[in-house]
Amino acid sequence: MKPEHVSRRTFIKSTGASAVAGLATGSAVGQKRGSAETLRIGFVGPGGRGFGHIGQLSSIRGEGANIELAAVCDVFSEHVERAANYIKETSGKTPRRYQDYREMFEKEDLDAVCIGTPDHWHAKQTLDALKAKIHVYCEKPMTKTVEEAIQVVRAWQKTGAVMQVGVQSTSLPVWAWALDMLRSGRLGKVLMYQTEFFRNSASGQWRHYKLTKEMNPDNINWKLWLGSEEGLSEEVPFDRAIFRQWRRFWPFGAGMYTDLFVHRTTSMLKATGLRFPGRVVGSGGIYLEYDGRDVPDVATVIAEFREGVQGLVTATMCAQSTPIRQLIRGHHGSIVFGNGERFTGFDLIPEPSDITGTPLGPARIDVQPVIENTSKAHFENWLEAIETGSQTMCNNPPDLGAAAIVVVNLGARSYREGKVFHFDHETMTVSEGDSSWADRWEKMSLERAEPKHIAGWCGGDRGSRLEEPDHQTLEGPWINGVPPERIR
């Protein structure tokens, strides 16, 4: 079984040989770049994760990559100064400073941008960047809503720009190995994935982000942060907790659904080859953390896929010592990853031989290469995709990012609205659930239909057909008093 190669360019140091060849300014978006000029990168929201973007790219630049950290933009003056000073210290060049990203896009000749703002700004800033023919690295979640996610995918496809969504664990090679194994039929018909993100805190989730007196309306453009003029949120009074701990509040984030579940869901979609679900339901509640938050501290999302696979992601944000294992189940066995996301392999756990027909024992699959720094690898992958002009080279492109958004966003909506949601992958639209989902599978059973499979399935009938016990010849209706075995 040949694993998919994880794209990681060797960014060599200043020795005269080429570093990140192909990062030239002025070539058409999505086309291969020349090697003579420098890729100019801007940063929007370099406060939390966004400051990490600067750190990773500074490291890559220091290893010889032909990139310039050209400009920084943030509504908080302290974030701007910290980011600009760090870039000057590490590169010797002073980046331009901005408060409004639109001014930065207009005045700077940027080739690429990294977006690390709160969730409610992601779609607009990404769409504006794509419209300006700027390559995009956007932190997860890619967007706040399903509709925004579809807009981003269409704009990305239209512009030809290279875009990476910041779920760094998708740059691990383990997912490609798992997908190859599943498609080969080794585990039989794929039935289910389950994943988790259990955490705990003595003070309540996301309240570890510190509030300071320097966070005040004199240093923060509050109206711009809210995006009220852009229709991104309503006007509310300035509040340090909303500004710094926005993941606790629905207008700006969705708690564990989009901050944590999107990580694990994206990885499972990559490992199984699944994308948009057909039906989603979510549940949960605030059972402990009564600290003024909106979002649950216990939640679960179940996504159902047309390929006949169920996906589950669950967590308690107030108990972390007993998480469920992350795994993928098939009719003939399971792939077990374990917990966390720093995976260098997985375990194969077979079903009993009276089911598989072959006596098999557990096996450990070790995957190469081992990625020590997934964040850095994720940026290297993005830069190489820009270099080669390949939208499909990114390890977490917008179409995968959008599929994860549909799962977690509809899960959050289901919890809040008390509804089941259906998603039509052809029209890319959401509707409220009805009996059609269950009707479909019951109809297939009555018709003795062939099972559905994940994309790329090449396992034939392996693990996908049931054996007929001899006594099943007695199954069936009696017609005019005649037993079924005599009718046949």
Rounded CA separation 27/161 (Å):
11
For residues 158 and 99, what is the distance between their CA atoms, to the nearest angstrom? 29
Distance CA 453, CA 404 (A): 19
User: Which residues of the chain carry a pLDDT beneath 50?
Assistant: 1-28
pLDDT tens-digit readout, 297-338: 999 999 999 999 999 999 999 999 999 999 999 999 999 999
pTM check: above 0.85: yes
Q: Is the CB of residue 120 less than 8 Å from the CB of residue 251?
A: yes
Identify whether 46 is preceded by a cis peptide bond (ω within 30 of 0).
Answer: no
Q: 411-423: per-residue pLDDT in tens?
A: 999 999 999 999 9
Alpha-helical runs (H) found in 99-226? 101-107, 119-131, 146-159, 174-184, 222-226
53 Cβ neighbours under 8 A, 6+ residues apart = 43, 46, 114, 116, 137, 139, 379
* pLDDT at residue 33 in the model: 54
pLDDT at 34: 54
> In the chain, where are the structural domains located?
39-171+373-389
Could you give the C-alpha distances from 313 to 65, 97, 100, 194, in angstroms and in order?
38, 40, 37, 6
Query: What is residue 209's predicted lDDT score, i.e. its pLDDT?
Result: 95
Distance between start and end Cα atoms, the chain = 45
Strand partners, 334: 329, 349
Provide the strand spans (E) within 339-404.
345-350, 363-366
What pLDDT was estimated at residue 219?
97
The answer to whether 393 and 381 have CB atoms below 8 angstroms apart is yes
Where is 421: in which H helix or E strand? Answer: strand 421-424
What CATH number was assigned to the domain covering residues 39-171+373-389?
3.40.50.720
Nearest in space to 117 (alpha carbons), one of 105, 108, 109, 125? 125
